[in-house]
Amino acid sequence: MRVVMDLVEPYFESGRDVTADNFFTSIPLAEALLCKKLMLVGTLRANEREIPQQFLPNLQRKEKSSILGYTKDITIVLYRKTEKQLYFYQLNITMPQYMKTKTESLK
C-alpha cells in the first residue's frame, strides 16, 4: 500500500482514477485513496481477507456468471469465466460527488 500511496502522492485531491493489478489492489488501499480523493480500479486476489463470504469460490456457480456487491463507495464484481479459470474479482471505488457531476454533464 505504501508504494502506491508514494507513487500517486502528486495526484492527491485531483479526482483521478488509479488502476492497479492484483499485487497492489486491496480494499484498505481503495479506502486510503478515497480519503485523498482518488478512485481505484483493479483486480483482487481471491485470498483477500476483505472479500465478503458470499464472494468466496463456489463450484456451484455457473460459467460466465457475475455477482455484484457494493457499499456506499465500493463496488466488487465477481465473474466466473470458465470452469478452469474460476474467478475474477474487480474492485471499483468511486467518489459519489464525482459520479453526480459526471452524470449531470451528460444531460
pLDDT digits (tens, 9 = 90+) for 55-87: 777 777 788 888 888 887 888 888 777 766 555
β-strand pairing of 39-44 with 17-20 = parallel
pLDDT tens-digit readout, 5-33: 999 999 999 988 898 888 998 888 988 99
Domain extent at residue 76: 2-106
Q: Residue written as cell 476483505?
A: 50
Quote the number of domains for the chain. 1
Q: What SS3 state is found at 106? A: helix
Residue 106 has pLDDT above 70, yes or no: no
